[in-house]
Amino acid sequence: MNYCTKSLGLLFLVLLFVSGCGTDESRSVTAVSWGGSYGKAIDEGVNIPFAEESGIRVAVEDYNGGLAQIRAQVEVGEIHWDLVDLEIAHAVRGCDEGLLERIDINQLPPSPDGTPAAEDFLEGTMTDCGMGTFFWSMVYAYNEENVLSKIKPSTMADFFDLDTFPGRRGMRRVPQMNIEFALIADGVPLDQVYATMSTPEGLDRAFAKLDRIKEEVIWWEAGAQPPQMLADGEVIMSTAYNGRIFNAQVLEDQPFVIVWHGQLLSIGQMVIVAGTPRLDEALEYLKFASTPEAMSRVSNRISYSPARRSGASLVATHVTTGIEMEPHMPASPANAAHAVHYDWSWWADHQDEMNERFSAWLAQ
């Protein structure tokens, strides 16, 4: 599931008048997320059933991440967004800045067998102001029809190997994850990536590796871009959100292959914007979205793994195609075996300086 934010605008309102069901016109929330296939899964798995059950209208907006719009709303005291899907580093930073409401995990519902939420959420998925939602990963993928050699990409080093696999690459236009990928490709052991990034020599090493492919990179900002670039042949490989590639594979029958080696595994966070006048409704939404049933409905539509143990146990097959979801889940044992767990605390501490360095590097 970035740091140059731009709202894509209000997409639609989930207004439920089905069979005359009684939505309360005076109660509503605005839920902001990433759009695309993930946004559709959230609508079908959370937004629509929540509105049907609670009578609270859900307005949906898409964005590209970050804190800028939240910060602007809080600073002027005009809160339009109530709930936002954030990357975990932003959730921690936003909490520290007082931009987000604190969340008491004890207010969240237990699992179906009565296990308290505090014991059911996987370790590291909850923060002071953020509720863990889904494990997602940044991977890279290629279009099998465009990689004609007998040897196929299988490691992160292959993404940076222009001799064996010539052609353009797609990468997200931010420093995070690209720096990690560069070090993995340069031979840094997976469990030493962040220790290496914590040294000046390590960062120099990462940027030197990125230099090798810089002229062949097409930078993307929205999650919908990598699958389109791969389909069009604009790039031979691209980093991407695993769920976007999954959706293209199973619903559009695209010949894409995910390379799980070196994936950056992270956890999404749902937060409530500080000072919202719709706090009661936002809390109701949060509690509903935190249920294992809601999480599994989303994970049966897109390959993101639930943050709750009981939610993971409910994930089975894709609602449209019927395929087994387990092989496509980023947190499954097979796919996570060669993953780096995204260190949000490192990025919370170093984001500003890395943004500056990355921007200067791009401009060179």
What is the tens place of the pLDDT at every residue in 99-135? Answer: 999 999 999 999 999 999 999 999 999 999 999 999 9
Res. 10: pLDDT tops 70: no
Q: pLDDT at position 348, please?
A: 83
**Stronger pLDDT, 314 or 26, i.e. the higher one:** 314
Q: pLDDT at position 24, please?
A: 57
When pLDDT is averaged across residues 29-58 and rounded to a whole number, the result is: 95
Q: Which tokens hold the place of 1?
A: 């599931």
Give the whole-angstrom CA distance, residue 280 versus residue 286. Answer: 10
Task: Give which of 43, 13, 42 is closest to 28, Cα–Cα.
Answer: 13
Burial class for 150, CB neighbours closer than 10 Å (0-12, 13-18, 19+): exposed
DSSP letters spanning 268-332: EEEEEBTT-TTHHHHHHHHHHHTSHHHHHHHHTTSS-EESBHHHHTT--B-TTT--BSGGG-TTS
Amino acid found at 352: D
Q: What percent of the chain has pLDDT over 70?
A: 93
314-356 pLDDT, tens digit per residue, is 999 999 999 999 999 999 999 999 999 999 899 988 999 999 9
Res. 313: pLDDT tops 80: yes
Burial class for 176, CB neighbours closer than 10 Å (0-12, 13-18, 19+): buried
241-271 pLDDT, tens digit per residue, is 999 999 999 999 999 999 999 999 999 999 9
CATH of 9-135+267-332 among 3.30.450.40, 1.10.1200.10, 3.40.190.10, 3.90.1150.10: 3.40.190.10
When pLDDT is averaged across residues 297-307 and rounded to a whole number, the result is: 96
Q: Are 246 and 317 in contact (CB under 8 A)?
A: no
Q: pLDDT at position 64, please?
A: 84
Please report which confidence band the pLDDT of residue 25 belongs to, taking 50, 70 and 90 as the band edges.
low
| Residues of the chain by 3-state class (helix, strand, coil), percent to 5 | 40, 20, 35
- CATH superfamily name and code, 137-265+339-363: Periplasmic binding protein-like II (3.40.190.10)
Task: Give which of 64, 60, 133 is closest to 103, Cα–Cα.
Answer: 133
Q: Within the chain, which residue ranges are assigned CATH 3.40.190.10?
A: 9-135+267-332, 137-265+339-363
pTM for the predicted model, two decimal places: 0.83
Q: pLDDT at position 11, please?
A: 38
Residue 38: other Cβ atoms inside 10 A = 25
Q: Compute the chain's Rg from CA coordinates.
A: 20
Q: At what angle do helices 225-232 and 242-252 cross, to 10 degrees?
A: 50
Mean pLDDT of the chain: 92
Res. 202: pLDDT tops 80: yes
214-250 pLDDT, tens digit per residue, is 999 999 998 899 999 999 999 999 999 999 999 999 9
Task: Give which of 229, 232, 261, 257 is closest to 245, Cα–Cα.
Answer: 257
**Stronger pLDDT, 16 or 113, i.e. the higher one:** 113
Res. 171: pLDDT tops 90: yes
When pLDDT is averaged across residues 86-98 and rounded to a whole number, the result is: 93
